[in-house]
Structure formats: structure tokens, C-alpha cells
Amino acid sequence: MRVLVVNVNTTRSITDSIGAQAASAAAPGTEIVPLTPAFGAESVEGNYESYLAAVAVMEAVRAYPEPYDAVIQAGYGEHGREGLQELLDVPVVDITEAAASTAQFLGRTYSVVTSLDRTVPLIEERLRAAGLHTRCASVRASGLAVLALEQDEKAAVDAIAEQAARAVAEDRAEVVCLGCGGMSGLTERVVERTGVPVVDGVTAAVKIAESLVALGLSTSKIRTYAPPRPKTIRNWPPPPAR
């Protein structure tokens, strides 16, 4: 089976690292295809950039020329999953929801540790919209921007592990979700520092996508995610960048 894993950022090195993370969890026979959007922010950290990423991700998927079996939207707390579900017949998995859903099988409560403080509300909103908030103990920010995570891994681990440990001690979290695509790969070291299970959204999403495909399940088309009605879409998509 082929699974598209779409980065929300336009930075290719993040796509590469998300792709590698996804591949590390893929079952034999699962081909991971990482995609980078053709337009948008180098790192998505707020609503404007996230809305832009939402449409850029949709266009990236629509432009992909080969068949595929599932799509993973690899952005934490980002907009857009519902649009993909309308457009596609195959299952769509958002990593925010994949991580939370997986965490709920591991402990009574979970916390998310994300990058910047301003990202916290976006994640909270996505969890609430997905009905995955009642067991969320907290969403905490490490204070590190997405691109900073790439540049100083030692500092990243420290800042994230610090917040993860406080989530466990102060917010009574029993599981920690790493709330940023760029955090993939830090899982093991955060486990060591906190003693609780740590869920990475990308790998969790891969297993969920594989499971849905294996069970022959895909998005319900009866109401919310029915295909768009036939109509005129003006001046869209934009001409390809040169």
C-alpha cells in the first residue's frame, strides 16, 4: 500500500525527516511517499500560515499523479483535514488526532508538548473539534520555534523533556504526545526523562492509516465529507511556480 505523508511546511528538510520517521514505522509492503506543498510558509506557526498550508496540502495531494491508499497530514494543530476528507476517497489521518487517539489507549490522560506558545490554542481547538479533548491534561509549549528544533537538537530535547516532565508532575498527564512534526525522532529521549509512554504523531498516523486500509474502511461520504458539489472554482489552482 502507498501512503502519502504531506508536510505542512515548505521546508524540504522537514519533509525528509517526517518521511524517514514515517518509514521507520511502516509495515513491510507500505510505501511512504513524503510530499512538500508548492506554496506556503517555511514553517507553520499560526492561523494565517495554517490556513494557507491547508489549501497547499490539498493541492499537493491533488497534484500527485499516482494512485495511493491513504493520506497523512503531518502538521500538528493545523487546519485542513476536513477538506482532504471531502476531496478523497481514501482515508485521511491527521497526526494531531492520531497521537491523541493512540495516547488514549495508553493512559487515562495525556499532554501535548508543542513548539511555540502561540501554537497551543490551535492544538487545543483541533483536539476539541475532534472530540479528543476531555482526556487532554494540557498542551504545553517548549518555547522553541519549528526551525529551531532542527538546528539544535540537544536544546530541543532539553526544552521538550522539561515541559513533558512538568505535564506529568503538575498536570497529571500519564502519556505525552510530541506536538510538532519536527519533533519526530526525539521520542526515545523524552521517554527516558519522563518514564511515561511518549507518542509521536507521525508514526501513530502511519499505523492508523495502515489499519484503516487493512480493514477496508474509508471516510463516510454521507454528509460532512461528501464530495464537493460540481461548480465553478475561479482562478484556482494557481499556476505552477517556475
Contact positions with a second copy (CB under 8 A) in 21-80: 25, 27, 38-43, 45-52, 54-55, 58, 79-80
State in angstroms the smallest separation of the CB of 64 from a second copy: 16
Q: How many residues bind a second copy (CB under 8 A)?
A: 89
Supply the DSSP string of 123-184, one letter for each residue: HHHHHHHTT--TTEEEEEE-S--HHHHHH-HHHHHHHHHHHHHHHHHHS--SEEEEESGGGT
Residues 123-152 touching a second copy, rule: CB under 8 A, are 125, 128-135, 145
- List C-alpha distances in Å: 208 to 3, 51, 91: 11, 25, 10
Quick note: the x/- pattern for a second copy over 75-114, rule CB under 8 A, is: ----xx-xx-xxx---x-x---x---xx-xxxxx------
Residue that is written with C-alpha cell 513548539 in the block: 115
**Binding of a second copy at residue 12 (CB under 8 A)?**
no
Stretch that binds a second copy, among 15-23, 156-164, 177-185, 217-225 (CB under 8 A): 217-225
Residues 158-197 touching a second copy, rule: CB under 8 A, are 168, 172, 174-175, 195-197
CB 123 within 8 A of CB 45: no
- Residue 190 CA to residue 176 CA, distance in Å, equals 9
Among 7, 10, 15, 142, indicate the residue that binds a second copy (CB under 8 A). Answer: 10
Stretch that binds a second copy, among 149-157, 158-166, 177-185, 211-219 (CB under 8 A): 211-219
State in angstroms the smallest separation of the CB of 236 from a second copy: 5
Residues 220-239 touching a second copy, rule: CB under 8 A, are 220, 222-226, 228-229, 231-236, 238-239
Among 16, 31, 117, 152, indicate the residue that binds a second copy (CB under 8 A). Answer: 117
CA 30 to chain centre: 19
- Residue 111 CA to residue 198 CA, distance in Å, equals 10
DSSP code, position 216: T
State in angstroms the smallest separation of the CB of 163 from a second copy: 15
- In terms of C-beta density within 10 A (0-12 exposed, 13-18 middle, 19 or more buried), how is residue 147 classed? middle
